């Protein structure tokens, strides 16, 4: 180091401390992640990790990211989050619903660390929440499925009966029914987000019941493989594109793309404008991406699906627009009324026409 640059750096350091900035202001921003599953090469946690890598690609030396995978929900998550905070991470993404109370506890202990919790509903001054409107993707899948089914039976592998999944089932059914009034929805609850054996069983059971369109709210490709075996069943990729199964059985997919959001939030940290917010992004923000519609789908159906996607993205159409009734026949949305976000976030009923029973 020559004398001149030494002087320059000392001057900057003196200036920085005089201005009350932290002396380490030039240090990179440390960003931590906890994932509920292994990163692997597809699925929920993998998509979050792609977002993490996008941050690194975008900001280079200005950020350092670390992640912890397969962190169980509960006290282990609380410890993992504390570890990340103690290690000097000042922005921490907790990427599973079940981390909610752990995030709140740790956030209370580290008021200067900012937390971002995926899919939760509790927030604080230093806890923001974010989620994606996956039901928009389901509306498109329902349209394709309703047009393409020959048996008029659509199957849905549900993970857990929580609002996000119920939104998905309702959106898929409403849009299948719109293009095919005879369509029927069959639901099997797998009670897991990722378990190839259980998912394969659920897929086999649905296929045996005559389902020829299979939607999954679980992460593995086991249902895709079952559908491929059956030959005449179509499926949709979940969380990741699952393009290995294209063009048949996988005819399209809903991809979780967290990268734009993560880049935006890290940017806000870097320029000091980070605020606690609740974000619920859809196709318009790029958070929900529709994977390529394969050649197995007839051209006119593909065009119809893409038109729907464009209308949703432009905000001209909401997948939950009245008239819609609840399963028990009671009125929900009047003609032309769109569902409010808050109401959808707590959705705990099926819409009229679905015969499956919602576990209570």
Partner 1 sequence: MITLIKRPTPSKGWSYATPVVAVLATMVAGGLLFAALGKNPVEAIRVIFWDPLFGANAAYFRSQLLVKAAPLILIASGLAVGFRAGIWNIGAEGQYIIGAICGAAVALSVYPAESAWLFPAMVIAGALGGLLWGMIPALLKTLFGTSEILVSLMLVYVAQNLLAYVAFGPLKNPQGYGFPGSRNLQQYPSAHNPELIAGTGAHWGVMAAIVAVIALYILMHRHIAGFRIRVAGEAPRAARFAGVVPARLVVFCLGLSGALAGLAGLFEVSGPSGQITDSFNAGYGFTAIIVAFLGRLHPLGILLAGLLMALTYIGGDMAQLILQLPAAAIQVFQGMLLFFLLGFDVLTNYRIRIGGARA
Nearer to partner 1, 162 or 313 (CB): 162
Nearer to partner 1, 87 or 209 (CB): 87
Q: Is 56 in the site for partner 1 (CB under 8 A)?
A: no
Nearer to partner 1, 9 or 348 (CB): 348
Report the alpha-carbon distance of residue 338 to residue 322 in Å, rounded.
Answer: 6
One of 84, 213, 255, 339 touching partner 1 (CB under 8 A): 84
What is the SS3 assignment for 40? coil
Element (H, E) at 59: helix 44-59
Q: Is 111 in the site for partner 1 (CB under 8 A)?
A: no
In the bound complex, what is the minimum distance in angstroms from residue 133's beta carbon to partner 1?
16
Report the alpha-carbon distance of residue 153 to residue 138 in Å, rounded.
Answer: 16
DSSP notation for 114-175: EEEEET----BTTEEEEEE-HHHHHHHHHHHHHHH-SSSEEEEEES-SSHHHHHHHHHHHHH
Q: Is 101 in the site for partner 1 (CB under 8 A)?
A: yes
Q: Is 323 in the site for partner 1 (CB under 8 A)?
A: no
User: What's the full length of the chain, in residues?
Assistant: 360
One of 50, 80, 339, 351 touching partner 1 (CB under 8 A): 80
In the bound complex, what is the minimum distance in angstroms from residue 198's beta carbon to partner 1?
12
Q: Is 79 in the site for partner 1 (CB under 8 A)?
A: yes
Query: Applying CB under 8 A, what is the total number of residues that bind partner 1?
Result: 38
In the bound complex, what is the minimum distance in angstroms from residue 55's beta carbon to partner 1?
15
Q: Is 28 in the site for partner 1 (CB under 8 A)?
A: no
β-strand pairing of 213-216 with 153-158: parallel
Tokens of 257: 């793309």
Nearer to partner 1, 76 or 292 (CB): 76
In the bound complex, what is the minimum distance in angstroms from residue 219's beta carbon to partner 1?
15
What single DSSP character describes residue 124?
A: B
Tokens of 152: 């008029």
Using alpha carbons only, give the angle 35, 171, 208 rounded to the nearest 5 degrees. Answer: 85
Contact indicator for 353, 186 with CB cutoff of 8 Å: no
Report the alpha-carbon distance of residue 212 to residue 145 in Å, rounded.
Answer: 9
One of 48, 49, 55, 78 touching partner 1 (CB under 8 A): 78
Q: Is 17 in the site for partner 1 (CB under 8 A)?
A: no
One of 161, 196, 322, 353 touching partner 1 (CB under 8 A): 161
Report the alpha-carbon distance of residue 279 to residue 262 in Å, rounded.
Answer: 12
Nearer to partner 1, 72 or 315 (CB): 72
Instruction: Kindly indicate which of the ranges 155-163, 212-220, 222-230, 305-313 contains the residues binding partner 1, using the contact rule CB under 8 A.
Output: 155-163
Q: What is the CA radius of gyration of the chain?
A: 23
Of the candidates 36, 55, 16, which has an alpha carbon nearest to the alpha carbon of residue 268? 55
Could you give the string, one character per residue 170-209, with x where binding to partner 1 holds by CB under 8 A and - elsewhere?
---------------------x------------------
Task: Let me know if 356 is exposed, middle or buried by CB neighbors in 10 A (0-12, 13-18, 19+).
Answer: middle
Report the alpha-carbon distance of residue 278 to residue 356 in Å, rounded.
Answer: 32
Instruction: Kindly indicate which of the ranges 80-88, 266-274, 281-289, 319-327 contains the residues binding partner 1, using the contact rule CB under 8 A.
Output: 80-88
Q: Which residues bind partner 1 (CB under 8 A)?
A: 32, 38-39, 66-76, 78-80, 82-84, 86-87, 97-98, 101, 105, 121, 160-163, 191, 345-348, 359-360
């Amino acid at each position: 180091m020559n004398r001149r640059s030494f002087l320059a750096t000392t001057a900057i350091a003196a200036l920085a401390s005089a201005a009350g900035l932290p002396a380490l202001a030039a240090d990179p921003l440390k960003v931590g992640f906890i994932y509920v599953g292994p990163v692997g090469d597809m699925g929920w946690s993998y998509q979050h990790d792609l977002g993490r890598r996008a941050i690194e690609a975008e900001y280079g030396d200005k950020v350092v990211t670390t992640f912890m995978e397969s962190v169980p929900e509960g006290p282990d998550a609380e410890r993992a989050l504390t570890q990340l905070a103690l290690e000097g991470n000042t922005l921490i993404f907790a990427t599973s619903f079940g981390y909610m109370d752990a995030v709140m506890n740790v956030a209370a202990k580290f008021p200067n660390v900012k937390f971002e919790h995926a899919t939760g509903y509790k927030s604080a001054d230093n806890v923001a929440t974010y989620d994606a409107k996956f039901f928009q993707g389901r509306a498109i899948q329902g349209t394709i499925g309703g047009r393409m089914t020959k048996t008029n039976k659509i199957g849905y592998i549900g993970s857990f009966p929580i609002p996000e999944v119920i939104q998905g089932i309702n959106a898929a059914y409403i849009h299948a029914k719109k293009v095919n009034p005879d369509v029927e929805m069959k639901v099997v609850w797998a009670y897991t987000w990722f378990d190839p054996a259980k998912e394969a069983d659920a897929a086999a059971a649905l296929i045996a019941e005559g389902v020829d369109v299979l939607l999954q709210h679980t992460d593995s490709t086991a249902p895709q493989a079952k559908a491929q075996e059956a030959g005449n069943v179509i499926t949709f990729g979940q969380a990741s594109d699952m393009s290995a199964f294209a063009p048949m059985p996988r005819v399209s997919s809903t991809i979780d793309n967290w990268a734009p959001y993560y880049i935006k939030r890290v940017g806000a940290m870097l320029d000091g404008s980070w605020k606690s917010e609740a974000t619920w992004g859809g196709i318009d923000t790029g958070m929900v991406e529709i994977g390529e519609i394969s050649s197995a789908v007839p051209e006119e159906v593909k065009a119809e699906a893409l038109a729907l996607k464009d209308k949703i993205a432009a905000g001209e159409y909401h997948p939950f627009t009245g008239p819609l009734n609840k399963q028990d026949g009671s009125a929900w949305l009047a003609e032309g009324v769109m569902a409010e976000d808050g109401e959808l976030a707590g959705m705990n009923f099926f819409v009229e026409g679905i015969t499956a029973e919602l576990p209570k």
